[in-house]
Homo-oligomer: A and B are copies of this chain.
Amino acid sequence: MIDVKHIEYLKNVVGEDDIKTDKAHLRAYSYDATKEHFYPEAIVFPENEEEISKILKYCNENKIVIVPRGAGSGFTGGALPVKGGIVLAVEKYMNKILEINDKDMVAVVQPGVINSHLQKEVEKRGLFYPPDPASMDYSTIGGNVAENAGGMRAAKYGLTRDYVMCLRAVLPNGEIIRAGKRTIKDVAGYNVRDILIASEGSLAVITEITLKLLPKPRMKKTYMGIFENVEDAMNAVYKSLADGAMPVAMEFMDSLVVKALREKLGVNLPDWAGALLIGDVDGNVEEEINYQLGILEKSFIENGAKEFIATAEEEKSKEIWFARRNASQSITIYGSKKINEDISVPRSKLPDALKGINEIGKKYNLTVPCFGHAGDGNIHVNVMVDGNNEDEVKKGYRAVEEIFKLVVDMGGTLSGEHGIGLSKAPFMKIAFSEAEMNLFKRIKNAFDPNGILNPGKMGI
């Protein structure tokens, strides 16, 4: 329990109204998209970096846990106060776009800015911020940076990391640092910026983010390849990319997802459809787009696609994307609880990975629909269980562990974009050696020797 004197001190820092300890607030900040609950002891709403610095310095000296929080939309519990302490919430005040500069082609934002809000603002000026996690309408840029969020467009445009030029952050001891520069190139000093990205709020509290922007491509078309089976589709993914295609996205849905889309949402797809690949290609001139579509069509057909559709019409495009955008909700027909993992493998291993996952599903007698960002090797694997059946849930987690082992053996990773947080922490030892885990601990210690920042995450 945090002593009342500490709460009083923090009230002096942020003002009476910006620290909350009432039950309603504690509950509201106790959960995230994992739906697990851990109650904090207080929630603090700082107005600026200086307040954050004072909060951290005091909490560090008094060994009080601080858990930074954006929108709380993470899938792995990154924002959960699993060891209690104080949630530091940025959404109330630190939610401003400070600058959109079309000369330098950068945006400077506070951590609480909503991703899609930033996207819209920069697009008004003919600029483009590519990272588009599925949560973009509610997740914050701060959270995106803390988890290195991906999204549909990562196949061509990369991840949040690829757009972060510099950060301002507060260390647990209250010191304010800058990491990186508002320049394309910077090789001075250790790359603190990139170690803060995806560190899940466990090393420092990010207070300002400078993002690189691109010119907005002038046009796009949408494509869909329909395959009889998953193996053909998975071959088409890596072979079409190796043939030189650079689609914005290449999204995959397996036969279970196709079935669910048909049954739950009445999506009109051929009877024989056993896998889909959906995406956009973009560019500045029609010829480039058609060149891209030409590679995709040829390669998809060579690898077994029975149908290839391409369209520039917005209505038709929306219809195609409807399938992908509703994949996640459609598969609830297979079980009340979804154990949702986001493994990533080298692209040529996709056919074997999907085959192996299917076999693990059979072994445990569980349904495991898969979909996701195949173009970058990142697949959302959904182990469906009856949430009220404790034994089945346990069985589900055993299946997940086996899937992780399979993926790591193939040179893949536990998480392509969701992070480790709490949910995947028990599996870190599958992916990392003792030497690597010890190095992580020493890095943590270099930033946060008292262990006050978001403890209990990442297995560290």
Contacts and interface: CB of A to CB of B under 8 A. Distances in A.
B171 A435 contact: yes
A363 to B, nearest CB: 25
A186 B413 contact: yes
A105 B241 contact: yes
Contacts of A285: 285, 287-288, 291
A432 interface: yes
B183 A377 contact: yes
Contacts of A190: 195, 198-199, 203, 439-440, 443-444, 458, 460
A394 interface: no
A284 interface: yes
Interface in A417-460: 417-420, 424, 428, 431-433, 435-436, 438-440, 442-447, 458, 460
Contacts of A424: 188
Interface residues of A, number: 95
A185 interface: yes
B347 A433 contact: no
Contact of A420 (B106, B189, B199, B243): B189
A439 B428 contact: no
Contacts of A179: 436
Given A102-B242, A285-B285, A188 B443 contact: no
Contacts of A241: 105, 215
A154 interface: yes
Contacts of A184: 154-155, 158, 344, 347, 376-378, 416
